[in-house]
Amino acid sequence: MPVTNGQNGTRGRGRRALMDVIRRRGPLPRIELAELTSLSRATVTTITAELIEAGLIEEIAQAEPGNGARRGRPRVDLRIRGAAHLVAGVKIAHRTLSLVLMDFNFSRLAELEVPLPAPCLSADAMTDAIVGAVDTLMEKADHCRSELSGIGLGIAGVVKAARGLVLWSPSLDARNVALGDQVSAALDLPVFVDNDANLVTMAELGFGLGRAHSDFIVVTVESGVGMGLVIDGQLYRGAGGCGAEFGHVKMHPDGPPCRCGQHGCLEAYVADFALLREATNLPDFDTSLPEDVQLSRLLARAGAGGAARAILDQARDIFALGLANLVNIFDPRLIILAGGQVKSNPLLSAQVVEKMKEAIVQVDRPTPEVAVHQWGDRMWALGGAAYALDGVLDLALSEMRDD
Ligand SMILES: [Zn+2]
């Protein structure tokens, strides 16, 4: 009889379900695992024995709470075995790489931030930068690269996650880059690539503000605008795996040029590059300074009103219109605006929500909750690590056999 392997049979699905519950809710005793997964106690006993043998989970004795006089066996919980695998999360940002090293139980072991030589690189130069940064990260944590089980990589742009293919990204100077394969070959490791906003969304779903919601939208605001869409508890990627490109919805047919090559995209009004393009028209605006200095000067001048204020107001109003379009299409309960510079970013201000409400089709029900969640670059890297943990778990489970 052929030996079925993998995770698609009943046994495989049971393993995955138990691992997911232990990761999210553990440590837990077997009896609660049976209740939470609707698997029989016998099945839970069999599968957890396999998972212990595979080194993915471990037993931990818990003292019985309360009654010290009570005798009997201590309660035994099951938890993820942290030492089972190490993964690294890597976020490719505009000017930096942010990395985090995590164990299988989601403990952070080390973090690192390194500058990129330029915001837009060739695939070879980006791969070299990632390989160098991963080695530095492992050195910092007193580990070596061979101890890693996988890497999760987040990049802005249009990504076919299942194939690790970057169709377009502002961080790469070419289209259709097989970045996953290239970095995987250079590091000799499994590499899981996804759009960075999707990674933030998965992190919000797993352990962030989206935990208690089955339908919500994450809009990321940094140098550009990204989006992740959760429908019925699942990240929605679109039929071709490239959906939810909120930054490139069209706001005007004759609008300004965008980095994607088209015109009138939302990003072409609200992203950093768009604000700086408008700022070149301000009197005495020094465009020879580094971009981040130009941006902070623009923000400072906007505080005094005038033309600088008008630039940010326009960006905010266009962004609010875009959000209202999302609400009109998807009717989410919750929109999470995720970004780093919450205090200084006009796109994360209270006026955005007011403007958005004005453009929502008025029906007799409350408008969605809008939450602002401050994410540093390291939190984006955590999303990458969460994605890598998921991929590494899939690989580990697919190696288990049903014989
Ligand atoms: Zn565009």
Residue by residue, DSSP assigns 326-362 as: HHHHH--SEEEEEES-TTT-GGGSHHHHHHHHHTS--
The CA angle 219-220-226, to the nearest 5 degrees, is 80
Residues 169 and 266 in one domain: no
Mean predicted lDDT score pLDDT of the chain: 89
pLDDT at 100: 94
Polymer length in residues for the chain: 403
Residues 256 and 369 in one domain: yes
In angstroms, how far is CA 186 from the centroid of its own chain? 23
Return the structure tokens found at 119. Answer: 């915001």
pLDDT at 3: 39
Chain segment 307-335, per-residue pLDDT in tens: 999 999 999 999 999 999 999 999 898 99
Residues 92 and 40 in one domain: no
Residues 49 and 96 in one domain: no
Residues 75 and 124 in one domain: no
Residues 36 and 135 in one domain: no
Chain segment 62-96, per-residue pLDDT in tens: 766 555 555 666 789 999 999 999 999 999 988 89
Residues 266 and 361 in one domain: yes
Domain assignment present for 213: no
Q: 266 alpha carbon to ligand 1 midpoint, in Å?
A: 7
Q: 318 alpha carbon to ligand 1 midpoint, in Å?
A: 14
Is the per-residue pLDDT at 288 higher than 90?
Answer: yes
Active site residue: 77, 103, 194, 196, which one? 196
**Max mean pLDDT range (8-12, 137-141, 252-256, 301-305):** 137-141
Q: 238 alpha carbon to ligand 1 midpoint, in Å?
A: 18
pLDDT at 65: 59
Is the per-residue pLDDT at 246 higher than 50?
Answer: yes
CB 56 within 8 A of CB 81: yes
Q: Which residue has the tokens 């630039």?
A: 311
Q: 326 alpha carbon to ligand 1 midpoint, in Å?
A: 17
- Nearest alpha-carbon partner for 195 in 232, 222, 168: 168
List residues, by chain if needed, whose CB lies under 5 Å from ion ligand 1: 248, 258, 260, 265
258 vs 361, higher pLDDT = 258
- Return d(Cα 380, Cα 4) in angstroms, integer: 37
Domain assignment present for 162: yes
* 90 beta partners: 99, 153
- Return d(Cα 140, Cα 162) in angstroms, integer: 31
Q: Print the domain residue range for 367.
A: 245-332+341-374
Domain assignment present for 171: yes
**Max mean pLDDT range (122-136, 230-244, 298-312, 355-369):** 122-136
- Return d(Cα 70, Cα 103) in angstroms, integer: 36
Chain segment 206-236, per-residue pLDDT in tens: 777 887 788 999 998 877 898 999 998 888 9
Among 56, 80, 104, the domain boundary falls at 80
Return the structure tokens found at 340. Answer: 């780093």
Domain assignment present for 393: yes
In angstroms, how far is CA 201 from the centroid of its own chain? 5
Residues 113 and 44 in one domain: no
Residues 293 and 320 in one domain: yes
Domain assignment present for 64: yes
pLDDT at 64: 61
- Return d(Cα 121, Cα 141) in angstroms, integer: 28
Domain assignment present for 240: no
CB 225 within 8 A of CB 266: yes
In angstroms, how far is CA 187 from the centroid of its own chain? 22
Number of helices (H), then strands (E), belonging to the chain: the values are 12, 14
Domain assignment present for 147: yes
Which whole number is the average pLDDT over 16-22?
91
Residues 368 and 254 in one domain: yes
At 279, which CATH number? 3.30.420.40
Is the per-residue pLDDT at 348 higher than 50?
Answer: yes
Residues 104 and 178 in one domain: yes
**How many domains does the chain contain in total?**
3
Q: 117 alpha carbon to ligand 1 midpoint, in Å?
A: 24
Among 33, 60, 80, the domain boundary falls at 80
196 is catalytic: yes
Domain assignment present for 220: no
Give the whole-number percent of the chain exceeding pLDDT 70: 93
Return the structure tokens found at 230. Answer: 């959760």
- Return d(Cα 307, Cα 264) in angstroms, integer: 21
pTM metric for this prediction: 0.79
Among 62, 80, 98, the domain boundary falls at 80
Q: Which amino acid is at 393?
A: L
Chain segment 117-171, per-residue pLDDT in tens: 999 999 999 999 999 999 999 999 999 999 999 999 999 888 998 899 999 999 9
Main-chain dihedrals φ then ψ at residue 42, nearest 5 degrees:
-65, -45
Residues 93 and 190 in one domain: yes
Which stretches does DSSP call E strand in 156-236?
A: 158-160, 165-168, 191-195, 216-221, 225-231, 234-235
